[in-house]
């Protein structure tokens, strides 16, 4: 059963670094809209408000629709990468064989001009 701080089952599907970046970018967009208002900046300010909400809540509706969850711990990601069967097979088969030798060829072709 997940506890209150875990991302499983709590609705949090955005990782910590992504949350910080979203909140910071959102604050910049809202600040720009408030300092020098125009139609374009107000639209960007609304987008910035959505980014701030995403950063503070840790929830992204688009991620939920796509089934993406970046809130897992780094240790979970490392375990996933370490358990990748393709990567493991590649590591175990390296080096698979020696590369073929390269033999330079010089002076065997005649020029068409002669």
Kindly report whether the global pTM for this prediction surpasses the value 0.75.
no
Domain extents in the chain: 16-85
Tens of pLDDT, residues 31-84: 999 999 999 999 999 999 999 999 999 999 998 898 888 887 555 555 555 667
- The tokens describing 52, both together, are 């701030």
What average pLDDT does this structure show over 9-33?
A: 91
Separation CA 37–CA 54 (nearest Å): 23
């Amino acid at each position: 059963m997940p506890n209150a701080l875990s991302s499983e089952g709590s609705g949090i599907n955005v990782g910590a670094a992504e949350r910080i970046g979203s909140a910071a970018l959102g604050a910049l967009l809202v600040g720009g809209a408030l300092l020098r208002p125009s139609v374009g900046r107000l639209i960007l300010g609304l987008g910035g408000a959505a980014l701030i909400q995403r950063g503070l809540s840790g929830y992204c509706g688009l991620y939920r629709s796509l089934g993406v969850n970046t809130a897992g711990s780094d240790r979970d990601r490392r375990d996933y990468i370490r358990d990748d069967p393709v990567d493991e097979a590649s590591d175990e088969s390296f080096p698979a064989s020696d590369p073929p030798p390269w033999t330079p060829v010089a002076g065997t072709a005649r020029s068409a001009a002669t």
